[in-house]
Structures are given as C-alpha cells and as structure tokens.
Amino acid sequence: MRRRFGTNRLSMAADGASRHLGRRLVAMLSGAALIGTAALIVPPAASRADDWPQFRGPQRDGVWRETGTLKKFAGRRLKLLWSAPVGSGYSGPTVAAGRVYVTDRLVEPTQIERVLCFDAMTGKSVWKQEYECPYVDIGFTAGPRASVTIDGGRAYSLGAMGDFCCYDAADGKLLWRRALYREYNVEMPIWGLATAPLVEGDLVIIQAGAKSACLVAFDKATGAERWKALDDRASYSAPIVIEQAGRRVLVCWTGDNVVGLDPATGAVFWNYPFAPTRMVIGIASPIVSGDHLFVSSFYDGSAMLKLDPHRLAVSEGWRILGPDEQHTLGLHAMIGTPWISGDYLYGVDSYGELRCLRADSGERVWESLKATPRARWSTIHMVRQDDLMWLFNERGDLIIAELSPKGYHELSRAKLIEPTSVQLPQRGGVVWSHPAFANRHVFARNDERLVCASLAEGEN
C-alpha cells in the first residue's frame, strides 16, 4: 500500500533536532590513548572531543561530532582498552565526565535490576545501585532497555518494570525514585518500559503508558510530577525535541499516534494517527531533517510527514506498507533508527536489508545485505560522522561506510564485541544495544561485558 503527498492535514513541526543537553571536552592522554577525566578548553584548530550523555548522543540525533578519529581499522578485531563484567540487558552505555553508565539484570539469587557506573579510563567500578525487580508479563527478559541519561550531575534511569530513578552521577546516591507501575497503573507493554529519559529545561520526560499519562514530565531535581498527557499506549520509541514555528516541540511516537506537544505543559499541538494493525512494536526514534519527519514500524511500514515551518501543523507526505514482513515496499524498520541525508533516507528493513529510499516519495533506490546477515529483526545502529556512517551490527561488528544514492560502500570493518544469547537465544546470539561514541572511543555491551576501544586517529 502506498500513499503519497495526500492533503490529509494534521498539525505541526519544522526542521531542527533536539536541544543540546550538554557537552564536556575531555583530554586525551597521548601515547596510551586513555580517556582523560578533566575538561579542557581546546583551541579552534585542535581536535574536538565530546561526551555521549544520552541515547543517540549529545543532541539525541545519532550524530558523532568529534574529530581526530581513524578512518580505517588496522586489523580485523579492535584492540580493547578495557573490558568489565556486566549482567544482561538491552540498554546501551552512555558517557559523561569520565564515567560510563549502563543498566543490567541479575536473576540469582533474586531478580534485581542494577545501575552501574565505571571509570571511562580504566573500566573500574565507581558505584552501583540495585533494587529488587521481578519481571511480570514482560517478554524478552534480558534486562532494562533504556539508556541512562546524564544531565547536570544527575543520572536518570528507567527500568523495564517502571522503576524511574535519579542518582547523583558522581557517587550514585539515590536522589529520588518513582515506581511508575504502581503509582500510575501502567498498562505494561509486552516488552516493558523502554524509552530513554529526555531532559528538557527543568523537566525529565518519559513514556509511562498509563491512562491519561502516556507521557509524564517530572521535575528533574525533585521527581515531583509536573504534567501528564495522552491516553495512548506506550511504545518503545524514545521521544525527541525539535523547533518549529518558533516553538519547542516534544515529538513522541506513542503506541497509537505520532504526537507533537508543548514540552513545558504537555498540551497537544498536533497528532498523526499511526495505530498498529497487530501490536505496538515501534522502537526506532522519530527522525527529523528539514521539513521531513519520519517514523517506521516492523509490521506497519513507514510514514513521512511534512512539517509546516510557519505554524504548528503537519501533513502526510507519504505512507507505504508492504504485503507482509518479508515482502516490504518502502521500509519496515525494527530496532535501528533510520537516517535522512538530503533527499535520501537510509534504514534497515525487517530482515536486515539496508535500504536507500527517496525521501520525497519512499521509492526504493537500492538495497544491500552486506552490512548484516539476513535474519528476522537483524539490526544495525547507524551513527553519522561528517560524510561517514559508523554501523554497529548485531554480530558485534563495527563498520565504517559511505552511504549515498549510488550504494553502500564499506571502507573498513572490525569485530568489537561478541554476540551473546540472553538478548536473543537464536543465531548464536546478538548484540542489540546501541553503542556510545565519546572522547574518540567507542563503548559497547553484550550480556556479559562492557568494552571500550580507542578510535583515535593512528590507533586500532
């Protein structure tokens, strides 16, 4: 099914991406290529270094803005700076102020979720917090899904059952906690609560999936509720903030709609219905480029919305749905968030097919299975750096590639971490967690280890 540039008018949006939530320049120690823990004032000509304090990077847009990084790997396997033991989980690591944060789950002797903090230079444990957390009516039980968000010296974590906690990022002291499942009578998604907390101004916002409280904003310092909105079911898609018509707009793909809200009050600016035909399965974040806003679902295909730059309104550009999950037309994305570059869109389809589509029509330009093997839900996480795309596939390979309308051009590939089977007990296991790129290093986790490797120019 294909619909193009209909006149169905809904509401809002404009170009832009989410607000920068903070950046810290960190020294790189020469020779040993270790991550320094002190902030530097870097002259304009010097290489740029950044932290990775939240899901999909400093601006939550999947862009790595550092310089001074390698363009080709020296061998077939990356040399690790360090490796630290962790339990299982789907959450990707985040990095800020010389620390690395990740969540995991242990089941013996009791079921617990943990929030872990490591020294980014050595991998040594700095602090950990844990709490009992029996999983009830949750499928895929490897562990927490949401990356820890770091902002203003605080660490915000969201567990699969809705344990929403704020810690002192330096020492792990619990500052506040909200038990969402109990407090809000959450209609628990089949795969648990999964969206990475979003900090906007003095608020921290999450998808809770409760009646009249699909989205909830809390005071980021005290944990007090500031607003709640929508009767929608929760999805697994992390919200973003964009700018449109001179306004800040919270964009969230819920279990039923793509919605634009006032991030300060929760008031709805616009709404585009995108209810699932089979089940709530939206995982990839909404992406914005220019006047395009794109979402894509495994069962329900893709929708490209046109963002009105002059008022809070959107209209449907095109919507394409294939006959079934193995016979798709445009893009049926699953875990990895797609990418828009100019007039073209790139994303991973339902069985691992890396595709290029025309952004104005959804017409397929090319398809490739070179980046990840064909399999149901085969995953690639894409991070853009200048003209290069860093691809991290579910086999634990890190790939440097060029994506263009002419095709997929792989420049270099190396093994970063091995797949493990708790996340998915099929095909020898997978690595589904999003990596972090910070201070010219890469950080990744599987069900057993958290690893760090240098990506500085002249190394690895």
Nearest partner of 202 among 213, 214, 218, judged by Cα? 218
- From the CB of residue 324, how many other CB atoms can be counted at a distance below 10 Å? 10
Q: How far apart are CA 12 and CA 14, in angstroms?
A: 7
* SS3 category, 301: strand
Nearest partner of 308 among 7, 13, 4, judged by Cα? 13
What single string gives the DSSP state of each residue in 393-432? ETTSEEEEEEEETTEEEEEEEEE-S--BSSS-SSTT-B--
**Which residues span the domain enclosing 97?**
2-454
User: What pLDDT shows up at residue 226?
Assistant: 98
The one-letter amino acid at 152: G
The answer to whether residue 219 sits within a structural domain is: yes
User: What pLDDT shows up at residue 49?
Assistant: 72
User: What pLDDT shows up at residue 101?
Assistant: 99
The answer to whether residue 369 sits within a structural domain is: yes
In the structure encoding, which two tokens stand for residue 141, read together? 């039980």
What single string gives the DSSP state of each residue in 152-217? TTEEEEE-TT-EEEEEETTT--EEEEEEHHHHTT----TT---PPPEEETTEEEEEEEETTEEEEE
109 class by beta-carbon count within 10 Å (0-12 exposed, 13-18 middle, 19+ buried): exposed
175 class by beta-carbon count within 10 Å (0-12 exposed, 13-18 middle, 19+ buried): middle
The answer to whether residue 84 sits within a structural domain is: yes
In the structure encoding, which two tokens stand for residue 296, read together? 């894509």
The number of domains in the chain is: 1
- The pLDDT tens digits for 374-397 are 999 999 999 999 999 999 999 999
The answer to whether residue 459 sits within a structural domain is: no
In the structure encoding, which two tokens stand for residue 5, read together? 């540039």
User: What pLDDT shows up at residue 41?
Assistant: 29
Q: Which residues, 6+ apart, have CB-to-CB distance to 355 below 8 Å?
A: 331, 346, 347, 348, 349, 364, 365, 366, 367, 368
- Whichever domain contains 147, its CATH number is 2.130.10.10
The answer to whether residue 460 sits within a structural domain is: no
User: What pLDDT shows up at residue 240?
Assistant: 98
Residues of the chain with pLDDT under 50: 2-46
Q: How far apart are CA 92 and CA 83, in angstroms?
A: 15
The answer to whether residue 147 sits within a structural domain is: yes
User: What pLDDT shows up at residue 47?
Assistant: 56
Q: Which helix (H) or strand (E) holds 29?
A: strand 26-29
Q: Are 287 and 346 in contact (CB under 8 A)?
A: no
User: What pLDDT shows up at residue 48?
Assistant: 63
Q: Are 398 and 64 in contact (CB under 8 A)?
A: no
The answer to whether residue 138 sits within a structural domain is: yes
* SS3 category, 233: coil
- The pLDDT tens digits for 126-136 are 999 999 999 99
